[in-house]
Amino acid sequence: MGFGVLLIGLSIVAGPGLASSRAVIVNAAGVILGLGLVAYCRSQKGRPGVAGQWSVALFGAFIALSGFSITWSVDPSATWDEVNRLLGYLAVFTGSVVVARTFPQRWRSVLLGLALASVGISIVALLSKITPETLAPNERYARLREPLQYWNAVGLIAAFGVPLWLYYGTRRIGRPILDILSAPALTVEFVVIMLSYSRGALIAAACAVAVWVILAPARLRTAAALVLPLVGAAVIVLWAFAQTDLTTDNIDLLQRETAGHRFGAVVLVTVVLVTLLSLLLQFLIAAKAPTGALRRRVGFVLLCGVLLVPIAGAAALTQSQRGLGGTISNGWYQLTNPAANTVAGSAPANSPNRLTSAGNARSLYWRDAFRLAKAHPVIGVGANGYGTARLRVRTDTYDVEHAHGFLVQVLADLGFVGLAVALALWGSWLVAVKRTLGKRQQPWPPERVGSMALLAAVVAFGVHSSLDWTWSFPAATLPALIAAGWLAGRGSIGAPADVPNPAEGVADGEGRAAAVGRWVPRLQLAAFMLLALWSITEPYRAFRTSQQALQAISKGDVPKAVKLSKRAVQQDDVSLDTHAIEAAALVAGGDVTAARAAIDDGVAQQPNNPAAWVQLFNFELYSSGDAARAVAAYRAATYLDPYSNSLRASLTAALATAATAPAADPAPTAPASTTAAPATTP
């Protein structure tokens, strides 16, 4: 219970996990908790096995490659941010692996904590729709996106919890209260998936249910556990979709509040009815177990129902305007052809209709990822560099930071080397999971059934991450890493749980060697934790120092501002912002030459980043008055980002304003900078 509450709290604090202050909290918390668990488990008696070690090692290798890519990254600051996020992920994954080795009997606690975290976040998301005046007073969108500020991440968390609650709805042993709560929990999660309008979450949930049905020995009980929640969710969703105040963007708060309260009443009544009917159904099943013949008949009916779904869908498509073949062909074109998504108005709107639309911009993002991979096939453009590098190769005006697909982003960021490491990590994890699940046993041990639920939940995360960028959201990723780490580190289910640790009971004559063997790993772990925490906090320290420098400039304390800005550069030398603030402090003191050198340092580190050239443009136009260098910087920025109409318009307006402004006092003379624009300019 406490584990689930901790995850819910961390998710709400993290939000999207992208703001610098929140990212520091979440990443540092992940490192401290994960490595703290590793240190604690090493001091306990338990199985000293090596299950999951290859997964941990390859995860570390992937992070090492990402960190090393800062030396060639198109955006080193973004690369550092990505490495810090991965350090937190690695610590949590490793902690889960080691805890699974040491306390394998605690699998129920892990599964319950993840299930509670999933439904808890889903409830918060629903409450933001029911009571917008409290949880979302400034919300502009109809799609559910609280508390993570991204609808697809909210939908993923709900999809992640579906197989976990199916486990509780189909098991035969354990606390009855959890079995009873499975129906309302599934109802809430299905409603959240639909109201987030997330097609990726729908696909992920369907894949998770399919894995559970195929692998777990509870197919008929699964069908019984799904019927009532699906019906209840359908009632709630259909009612909500009929309310324009709930499904239209930019609705006044008073209207949203009134509609939300009515929606809350519908949700409450439906969930209560689903719970009561589910309790009655479970009682009837327990009172009179179905015979083998009845099971076969029910199974046949369900199979026929499943097979009829695509047939009915095809029949419906034949009645459409384009017919069956034309509709399928058009849908495939909308799904895969980048040209279909560059036409104005082609992107699906934020309405329930998007759930049945094939149009999307992923084909554009993936096309550009492959273009970057073709240009930099071996080691890519640097971890998390896709968003900056894409500006040069795109042919649209969409502003995105991620490729919306983990593997295609890795291919663009780290090339085929990074992709090979990622696939090796995935393969090693599958091998470890196969070892954990072992061969089929009759009857199935409860832990093996619970492990199947964890596996299905991880599959939901993996499927969704192949279609979106939700791995960058700690609230959505950490639960999946905990489940994945547990499956990798558990070892074969049914193996002895309490094998003495070889480090215990060492002979007296070997005391010194034993002490060294115990303390060296602890010191290594402590050193890694301190290094990780330094890496995570240093960019934020530089940000805070830069803010103090700006305050000193505003107060006229130039010497203090220069001192603080130089300290910020030392703390984070790869950030364009620290160099720009140092230049601002130097300009305030009249040293334009040194200020130009500070700006040039930033450009020299990120010559393929248009933001660096924009900073140089602004400096030359407004601080040094060198129009020729300003024009050169303008050309470089528009060369690196040729399809940004806003960039070109703002730079052109700035040049026009400078041309018509009254002459200012000449700036101090300074030697010309050695930084040059890219060789090819439009």
Say whether pLDDT at 541 is over 70: yes
Question: CATH fold of 538-660, please?
Answer: 1.25.40
| pLDDT given for residue 324 in this prediction | 56
Say whether pLDDT at 464 is over 70: yes
| pLDDT given for residue 323 in this prediction | 62
Lowest mean per-residue pLDDT among 14-28, 237-251, 497-511, 590-604: 497-511
Say whether pLDDT at 438 is over 60: yes
Of 344 and 400, which is predicted with more confidence?
A: 400
Each residue of 371-405: b (16+ CB within 10 Å) or e?
A: bbbeebeebbbbbbbbbbbbbbbbebeeebbbbbb
Say whether pLDDT at 296 is over 90: no
Region 235-249 average pLDDT: 93
Q: What is the pLDDT of residues 325-381, one digit of tens each?
A: 665 565 555 556 666 565 544 567 777 878 777 667 888 899 999 999 999 999 999
Residues in contact with 619: Cβ distance below 8 Å, sequence separation at least 6, in sequence order: 580, 583, 595, 596, 599
Neighbours of 230 (CB within 10 A): 14
Please give the Cα distance from 530 to 460 (Å, whole number).
34
Question: For residue 500, what pLDDT band results from cuts at 50, 70 and 90?
Answer: very low
Say whether pLDDT at 491 is over 60: yes
Of 92 and 398, which is predicted with more confidence?
A: 92
| pLDDT given for residue 516 in this prediction | 55
Region 573-589 average pLDDT: 92
Question: For residue 316, what pLDDT band results from cuts at 50, 70 and 90?
Answer: low
Q: Which pair of structure tokens corresponds to residue 500?
A: 């003495």
Region 431-452 average pLDDT: 85
Contact call for residues 629 and 620 (beta carbons, < 8 A): yes
What is the number of residues in the chain?
682
Please give the Cα distance from 460 to 114 (Å, whole number).
14
Say whether pLDDT at 205 is over 90: yes
C-alpha 68 chain-centroid distance: 22
What is the Rg, in whole angstroms, of the alpha carbon atoms belonging to the chain? 28
Please give the Cα distance from 352 to 177 (Å, whole number).
34
Please give the Cα distance from 279 to 181 (Å, whole number).
9
Please give the Cα distance from 127 to 133 (Å, whole number).
10
Write the Ramachandran bin of 641: left for phi over 0, alpha for psi from -120 to 50, otherwise beta. beta
H or E element at residue 181: helix 176-195
Contact call for residues 186 and 225 (beta carbons, < 8 A): yes
Q: What is the pLDDT of residues 569-580, one digit of tens each?
A: 999 999 999 999
| pLDDT given for residue 133 in this prediction | 92
Lowest mean per-residue pLDDT among 46-55, 389-398, 426-435: 46-55
Region 138-159 average pLDDT: 91
Region 145-165 average pLDDT: 92
SS3 assignment, position 400: coil
| pLDDT given for residue 623 in this prediction | 86
Q: Residues spanned by CATH 1.25.40.10 within the chain?
A: 538-660
Which of 504, 543, 585 has its CA nearest to residue 24?
A: 543
Q: Using alpha carbons, list the distances in angstroms from residue 665 to 209, 220, 455, 623, 624.
A: 71, 84, 69, 11, 10
Residues in contact with 201: Cβ distance below 8 Å, sequence separation at least 6, in sequence order: 152, 155, 156, 158, 159, 193, 464
Say whether pLDDT at 483 is over 60: yes
Of 620 and 674, which is predicted with more confidence?
A: 620
- Work out the end-to-end distance of the chain between its first and last CA atoms, rounded to an integer number of angstroms: 61
Q: What is the pLDDT of residues 635-645, one digit of tens each?
A: 999 999 998 88
Region 98-121 average pLDDT: 92
Say whether pLDDT at 514 is over 60: no
Q: What is the pLDDT of residues 166-190, one digit of tens each?
A: 999 988 777 788 888 999 999 999 9
Lowest mean per-residue pLDDT among 74-78, 237-241, 263-267, 279-283: 279-283
Q: Using alpha carbons, list the distances in angstroms from residue 516 to 40, 389, 520, 621.
A: 18, 48, 6, 63
| pLDDT given for residue 681 in this prediction | 34
Please give the Cα distance from 120 to 185 (Å, whole number).
9
Of 668 and 70, which is predicted with more confidence?
A: 70
Question: For residue 146, what pLDDT band results from cuts at 50, 70 and 90?
Answer: confident
Share of the chain above pLDDT 90, in %: 53
| pLDDT given for residue 42 in this prediction | 80
Kindly write down the DSSP assignment for every residue of 242-256, as one continuous string: T-HHHHSSS--HHHH
**How do the residues of the chain divide into helix, strand and coil, expressed in percent and rounded to 5?**
75, 0, 25
Mean pLDDT for the chain overall:
83
Say whether pLDDT at 64 is over 90: yes
Share of the chain above pLDDT 70, in %: 79
Say whether pLDDT at 192 is over 80: yes
Say whether pLDDT at 605 is over 60: yes
Say whether pLDDT at 508 is over 50: no
Neighbours of 433 (CB within 10 A): 20
SS3 assignment, position 513: helix
Say whether pLDDT at 497 is over 50: no
566 phi/psi in degrees, rounded to 5: -65, -35
| pLDDT given for residue 40 in this prediction | 87
Kindly write down the DSSP assignment for every residue of 563-626, as one continuous string: HHHHHHHHH-TT-HHHHHHHHHHHHHTT-HHHHHHHHHHHHHH-TT-HHHHHHHHHHIIIII--
Say whether pLDDT at 588 is over 80: yes
Region 587-591 average pLDDT: 90
Which of 89, 31, 32 has its CA nearest to residue 425?
A: 89
H or E element at residue 496: none
Alpha-carbon dihedral sign for residues 574, 580, 581, 585: positive
Taking the CA atoms of residue 175, residue 181, residue 182 and residue 187 in that order, the dihedral angle to the nearest 10 degrees is 180
Of 59 and 280, which is predicted with more confidence?
A: 59
Of 350 and 466, which is predicted with more confidence?
A: 466
